[in-house]
Structure 1
Amino acid sequence: MIRGSYPLLAVLVERWRPKTHTFVLSVGEVTVTLEDVAHIFGLPIDGEPVSGWTDSSSDFVQSQSMAIFEREPVLSRNSKSYIKFDKSTAYAHAMYLPLLRNFEQIHTYSWGTACLAHLYRALYCASRYDTKEMDDPLNLLFVWTWERMPCISPVSRHILSPAEIPVAMR
C-alpha cells in the first residue's frame, strides 16, 4: 500500500455505496468512470469483453503457463490462483491466462472495463462490515482521488506535465 494512505482509503471505503457504485461526499455523489480508467492508465475501453471460463485448479494453471510461457508457473504465496510474471512483482490471475495465449489480440480487449469492474468489486467487498482490508486496484483508486481532489494529492498538479498520458505514469 502507498505509504500514509490508509486514512484516505478508510474514508473512501466508508463513503462507498455498493448499490449505486458511488462515493457519497459532502459535495454530492462521485464515482470512477470508464473515461477515468482510460485517462489514468491508458487502457482501452472499447473492444472485446475480458471474460471467460474461470478455472483456478493447479492443473489448469500449470497447463496454461506451459502453453503460454513454456515454463513452470511461479505461484503467489497468498493465492495459488495467481502466477508471477518474469522479473516483475506483478501477478496475474489464472483466469486471464487464456486471453494471453495470442499476444496479437491483447489490444482488442476492453481492459479498462475489466479494471473498473475489479475496482467496483473490491470496493463492494471492502465496504462490508466484516472486511478488514482491501486488495488489488488501489493504484487506480488513489490516482483517481488525486486527480479529482487535487488538494490532497501528494504532488502539486502544476509540477506535472498536464498532457502526459497515462496519468498514472506521473
Structure 2
Amino acid sequence: MILNTRREDGNFWKLVEKYHIHPRVLKVIRICGLYGVYRANRFAIDRSLITALVERWHLETHTFHFRTSKATVTLQDLEVLYGLPVNGDPVLGNETIKTIGNWQNICQRLLGFIPSREDFKANFLKVAAFNAYMLSQPELLNTATQDMINQKAICYIFWMIVGMLMADTSGGYLKLMYFPMLEDIDKIGSYSWGSVTL
C-alpha cells in the first residue's frame, strides 16, 4: 500500500513562478539565511520512496534501517541541502499572543495588511487570505523603499518557514507562533532554523 501524501506549501511556488521575487527581496532573504530554501525550489514527491522509507523507520532509534546500514537525517543534511543555519539562538514560538486584534496589528506591521477577523483561527491565519494578499500586490519597483522590501521579504520568509520548513497538519492555515521572531529583520539569520526544522 502506497501512502497518500499532502503538500503544505500551498500555492507558494505557483506564486513565485507567476511573480518573480525582486532581486532586492532575494538579497534580504539571503541575509536572513533562508535563501537555500528558495533555491531548492519545489521538489517532486515520490510517494513510493516515502512509503519505503516509512517501512524502514525505527521509532526506537530514530533511524532508517537499510540492508547495508542505518541512516538518519542530520543537522548537517539540513545545512547542506537548504543552507539553513544550525548554530545560533533557539527558535521559540510565541503562543502567548491570544487576541485576534494583536495578531492583526502584527500582520499590519510586518506584512503590510490586516487580515479580517474571520481569517484567523486561534493562533493560525488562513492560507487563502495570505495568498489573496500576496496575489493582490503589484510587483515591486526599483524605487521601492527598504521598508517595502523588508515587508515583502518577511512575507516570503514567513511562508517558507511555516508553509514548508515547519508545516503541520493544520491544512489550510499557517501557524503564527513563529511570526514575532521575524520582527527584527537583522536577527532572523541568527536563529537556528535547521535545528527546529529537523
Task: Return the TM-score normalized by structure 2.
Answer: 0.48
- Contact persistence 2:125–2:175 (CA under 8 A): yes
Task: Flag the 1:53–1:80 CA change in 2: closer, same or farther, 3 A.
Answer: closer
Q: Which residue of 2 aligns with 1:22?
A: 63
Q: How far off its partner does 1:93 sit?
A: 2.5
- The reply to whether residue 9 of structure 1 matches residue 50 of structure 2 is yes
Q: Quote the offset at 1:37 in angstroms.
A: 0.4
1:101 aligns with 2:143: no
2-structure distance, mates of 1:31, 1:80: 31
Asked if 1 retains the 8 angstrom alpha-carbon contact of 2:94 and 2:178, the reply is no
With normalisation by structure 1, the TM-score equals 0.55
Deviation of the 1:113 alpha carbon: 0.6
Instruction: Report what 1:63 is aligned to.
Output: 105
Do the aligned partners of 2:94 and 2:180 also contact (CA within 8 Å) in 1?
A: no
Distance change >3 Å, CA 70–CA 10, structure 1 → 2: same
Distance 2:175 2:45 in 1: 28
* Structure 1 residues 52 and 12, CA gap change in structure 2 (3 angstroms): same
Pairwise CA distance, 1:32: 0.7
CA positional deviation for 1:16: 1.5
Per-residue CA distance 1:13-69 (angstroms, 9 max, x = gap)? 121222322111111210010011000000110000111332586715433212311
**Residues 38 and 44 in structure 1, CA contact (< 8 A), matched pair in contact too:** yes
Q: Percent identity?
A: 30
Are residues 4 and 64 of structure 1, via their aligned partners in 2, closer, same or farther at CA, if it must alter by over 3 Å?
Answer: closer
Gapped runs of 5+ residues in structure 2? 1-6, 8-42, 136-155, 164-173
| Matching residue of 2:25 | none
Q: Distance in 2 between matches of 1:4 and 1:36?
A: 18
| Structure 1, unaligned runs of 5 or more | 117-170
- Aligned-residue CA RMSD in angstroms? 3.1
Summarize deviations over 1:93-126 as a string: whole Å, max 9, x none.
311101111111001001111111xxxxxxxxxx
Q: Report matched runs for 1:30-45 at 5 Å.
A: 30-45=71-86
The change in CA–CA distance for 1:45 and 1:82 in structure 2 (over 3 A counts) is farther
